[in-house]
């Protein structure tokens, strides 16, 4: 019998826990912030999907005390008791100098204790999936990252479930399409990259991409799935309806400031996971009409980067001088690329490896902005701001007010102007 330990309630509000869902297909890990706000029905939705379309009405979890003994959870009360028990176990493991094990749960089909579905019908999985996705699309309940659980579990995307729509763009590596995921009922961006590589290298890429499931930041594009079909890899991510920054002309400073804040936060998050972006540039900064700004195309898979590099043509104007000259590089190379990304194309042309960093014309931009750019583009990598210093820069502080409305309104207006120009025939 499990009892709710009130002392644990506080810990539940501040901890992030990892729930490991054990399924016949393998384990699925999911990070949950603020677990005290997690509820039984939401978790069941995730479990339905994790079990690949089979019904699930309850789950069991491992009782670490008694080997082989599992405890069944069928209600919110039992869920709370399980979390409380888990927190005790976590604390004990920590006191013994161990890293806490994830909370392992085993989905089970079984009799529902109450009437969960008032019509007494089995809910078709597609409805469950779309209900889960609706919730994921914004209505995060007071800090619970339900999105993490739901998205990672229900979007097992297969090639045959994707309906390709328009082409969004074409880069050096591949082509990006807007697509519709029939099962998940949502729009995706799918990047298709042709790669002539061995099956072993394909497997290596797939395992290197796995870290993307763990990336969970509002400033990083959500990764859903990746798969190979013949010699092409398809990488499915969240679709951003504003597209990338490279197509926007003359971004006003108060908008650019908020975008810069998001970019710095996104990079700081990646760096905290020991991931260098390696390809910071306006076409890899995406915006949407909700005013969100997210980074994409960061180099988590060395093998993928190497395989694409073999077919790469041209130079990258956003690359730090130390990278162009083939020296070792680190976080500071990303910082350079941040600086140069926020410069006007005109000044960009000036930026040649052997010259001094370009300077923005006085009067057009605020002093803080010019200082920020100049600092990011110091020739010596060590002289550029480190992650903490970037967040503390007065330009970033000034615009770090969480005002997504500013970006949202600007994106909407630009899209509207673009549509009007389109309609008049001058694209």
Q: Which residues contribute to the site for ligand ATP (CB under 6 A)?
A: 168-174, 176, 189, 191, 221, 237-240, 243-244, 246, 279, 283-284, 286, 296-297
Measure the CA–CA gap between 271 and 172, rounded to whole angstroms: 25
Q: Note whether 147 binds Mg ion by CB under 5 A.
A: no
Instruction: List helix spans (H) across 351-403.
Output: 367-376, 387-392, 394-399
**Binding at 174: pick from ligand ATP, Mg ion, none (beta carbon under 5-8 Å per type):** ligand ATP
Least distance in angstroms from the C-beta of 195 to Mg ion:
16
**Binding at 222: pick from ligand ATP, Mg ion, none (beta carbon under 5-8 Å per type):** none
H/E element holding 162?
A: strand 162-170
Given the residues 33, 42, 279, 334, the one annotated as active site? 279
279 catalytic, yes or no? Answer: yes
Least distance in angstroms from the C-beta of 287 to ligand ATP:
9
Q: Which residue in the block uniquely carries the two structure tokens 């951003």?
A: 240
Determine contact, residues 417/365, Cβ cutoff 8 Å.
no
**Binding at 172: pick from ligand ATP, Mg ion, none (beta carbon under 5-8 Å per type):** ligand ATP
Measure the CA–CA gap between 317 and 357, rounded to whole angstroms: 13
Among 30, 156, 234, 284, binds Mg ion (CB under 5 A): 284
Residue 299: helix, strand or coil by DSSP? coil
Determine contact, residues 108/56, Cβ cutoff 8 Å.
yes
Measure the CA–CA gap between 281 and 271, rounded to whole angstroms: 17
For residues 291 to 310, the per-residue mask of contacts with Mg ion, x marking binding by CB under 5 A and - elsewhere, is: ------x-------------
Measure the CA–CA gap between 246 and 286, rounded to whole angstroms: 9
Q: Note whether 156 binds Mg ion by CB under 5 A.
A: no
Q: Is 191 annotated as a binding residue?
A: yes
**Binding at 100: pick from Mg ion, ligand ATP, none (beta carbon under 5-8 Å per type):** none
244 Rama sector, left if φ>0, alpha if ψ -120 to 50, beta otherwise: beta
Least distance in angstroms from the C-beta of 172 to Mg ion:
9
Least distance in angstroms from the C-beta of 295 to ligand ATP:
10
Determine contact, residues 416/248, Cβ cutoff 8 Å.
no
Least distance in angstroms from the C-beta of 193 to ligand ATP:
8
> Which single residue brings its beta carbon nearest to ligand ATP?
171
Size of the site for Mg ion (CB under 5 A): 2
Q: Of the candidates 54, 84, 52, 53, which has an alpha carbon nearest to the alpha carbon of residue 71?
A: 84
Kindly tell me which of 7 and 231 has the beta carbon lying closer to ligand ATP: 231
The β-bridge partners of 177 are 167, 190
* Residues belonging to the active site: 279
- Residues at the contact surface with Mg ion, assessed by CB under 5 A: 284, 297
Which residues contribute to the annotated binding site for ATP?
A: 191
């Amino acid at each position: 019998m499990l009892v709710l330990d009130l002392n644990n309630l506080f810990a539940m509000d501040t901890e992030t826990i990892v729930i490991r869902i054990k399924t016949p297909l393998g384990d699925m890990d999911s990070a949950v912030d603020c677990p005290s706000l997690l509820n039984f029905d939401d978790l069941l939705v995730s479990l339905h999907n994790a079990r690949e379309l089979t019904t699930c009405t309850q789950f069991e979890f491992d009782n670490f005390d008694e080997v082989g003994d599992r405890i069944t959870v069928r209600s919110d009360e039992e869920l709370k008791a399980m979390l409380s028990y888990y927190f005790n176990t976590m604390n004990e493991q920590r006191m013994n100098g161990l890293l806490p094990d994830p909370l392992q749960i085993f989905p089970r089909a079984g009799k529902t204790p109450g009437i969960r579905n008032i019509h007494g019908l089995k809910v078709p999985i597609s409805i469950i999936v779309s209900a889960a996705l609706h919730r994921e699309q914004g209505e995060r309940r007071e800090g619970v990252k339900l999105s993490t659980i739901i998205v990672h579990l229900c979007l097992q995307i297969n090639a045959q479930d994707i309906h390709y729509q328009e082409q969004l763009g074409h880069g050096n590596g591949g082509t990006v399409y807007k697509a519709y995921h029939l099962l998940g009922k949502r729009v995706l961006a799918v990047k298709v990259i042709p790669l002539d590589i061995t099956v072993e290298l394909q497997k290596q890429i797939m395992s290197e991409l796995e870290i993307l499931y763990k990336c969970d930041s509002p400033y990083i594009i959500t990764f859903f799935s990746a798969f190979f079909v013949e010699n092409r890899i398809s990488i499915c991510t969240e679709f951003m309806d504003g597209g990338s920054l490279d197509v926007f002309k003359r971004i006003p400073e108060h908008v650019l400031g908020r975008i810069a804040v998001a970019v710095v936060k996104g990079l700081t998050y990646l760096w905290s996971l020991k991931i260098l972006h390696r390809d910071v540039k306006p076409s890899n900064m995406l915006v949407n009409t909700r005013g969100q700004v997210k980074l994409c195309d960061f180099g988590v898979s060395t093998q993928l980067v190497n395989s694409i590099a073999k077919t790469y043509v041209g130079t990258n104007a956003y690359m730090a001088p130390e990278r162009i000259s083939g020296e070792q590089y680190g976080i500071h190379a990303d910082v350079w690329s941040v600086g140069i990304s926020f410069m006007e194309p005109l000044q960009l042309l000036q930026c040649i490896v052997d010259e001094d960093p370009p300077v923005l014309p006085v009067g057009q931009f605020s002093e803080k902005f010019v200082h920020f750019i100049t600092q990011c583009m110091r020739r010596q990598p060590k002289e550029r701001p480190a992650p903490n210093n970037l967040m503390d820069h007065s330009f970033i502080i000034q615009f770090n007010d969480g005002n997504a409305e500013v970006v949202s309104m600007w994106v909407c207006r630009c899209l509207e102007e673009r549509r009007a120009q389109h309609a008049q025939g001058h694209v």
